Amino acid sequence: MNNQLIVVAPDEVVAASRAAEAAAREPKKGIDFYDVAKMAVRALNGSRLVDLVIDGADTLIAWGKARQNGLDITQVSQTEAQTLTFPPGHPRDGILYVAHPAASSVYFTVATFHRLAFEHKFSEAIELLMSLGATEIRVEHVRGWSREFAAHLSVPMPEMTTGIDASGKQASASSLLYEAHLRGSAQPRLPDSLVWYPHEPTWQSIAKGRLNFGLTEFSLTVNYEDDFGINAGLKVMAGKSGLDLGGSFEDHQATTWKIQGKFLPQ
């Protein structure tokens, strides 16, 4: 089962839905998931779980419509959801979640997926460079999301300025997004729990150069090319089915930011 897209529902609702789906399976016919959802609601009504049906029936019917319309959405019980990571205040019934592209147990709302996925990738690049002993970090916009978008990102850079050079004057290059100066470290290391790093050969080359050969300057890019299927088409289909995207949908932009700077000499 593809778990890229999920909805979370009460345990009993998910159990009833899975039982109805199993009963509806026929070797030579496809499954009508809208009928599966209605069968599950009837089963729950029969078990007199009135409050539960009120809490979970709308999500169940919306899931059935979405599946019938071709969206491969997995129902996850509240108990199963305890092993996953969601944004603060989540998960909530009726909201469609999408898996982190490089960390399968982390989920974002569809509405915020692209912003949070890019933010996490950029933050990981910054954390990597700081752990390797960066003393100067300069981030420049090449294409895609730029200054307004950058201003709302949460990035782990102390003593950070936005578009301001070391003298406090406005930077002349309009592409400058961030500039930071740090003490650095003469004992470089790889940070724990890197998820984008294994897919980024350039990042790996910089880490190898620093750890094994005393690299003193660096230049790398943070690219965000793929929309991972989270696009306007998904927004429309989910909305027609009655699923909540979890806020105002932020569409994908192919984005490249360049990060340059220096490491503390070893």
**126-150 residue pLDDT tens:** 999 999 999 999 999 999 999 888 8
Q: Are residues 158 and 100 in the same domain?
A: no
Specify the higher pLDDT residue, 105 or 26. 105
Residue 235 lies in a domain: no
Which pLDDT score is estimated for 28?
55
Domain around 51: 5-113
Residue 59 lies in a domain: yes
- pTM for the whole structure: 0.87
Which pLDDT score is estimated for 232?
95
Which pLDDT score is estimated for 162?
47
Q: Are residues 136 and 102 in the same domain?
A: no
Q: How many domains does the chain have?
A: 2
What are the structure tokens assigned to 175, written together? Answer: 């592409």
Q: Are residues 108 and 180 in the same domain?
A: no
Which pLDDT score is estimated for 46?
66
Q: Are residues 138 and 257 in the same domain?
A: yes
Q: Are residues 94 and 140 in the same domain?
A: no
Helices (H), the chain: 11-24, 33-46, 50-68, 78-81, 113-131, 147-150, 201-213, 232-241
Residue 13 lies in a domain: yes
Q: Are residues 142 and 259 in the same domain?
A: yes
249, pLDDT greater than 70: yes
Q: Are residues 133 and 179 in the same domain?
A: yes
Residue 102 lies in a domain: yes
**Parallel, antiparallel, or unpaired: how do β-strands 160-161 and 176-181 relate?**
antiparallel
The count of other CB atoms within 10 Å of the CB of residue 24 is 15
Which pLDDT score is estimated for 166?
40
Q: Are residues 155 and 210 in the same domain?
A: yes
Domain stop point among 113, 130, 145: 113
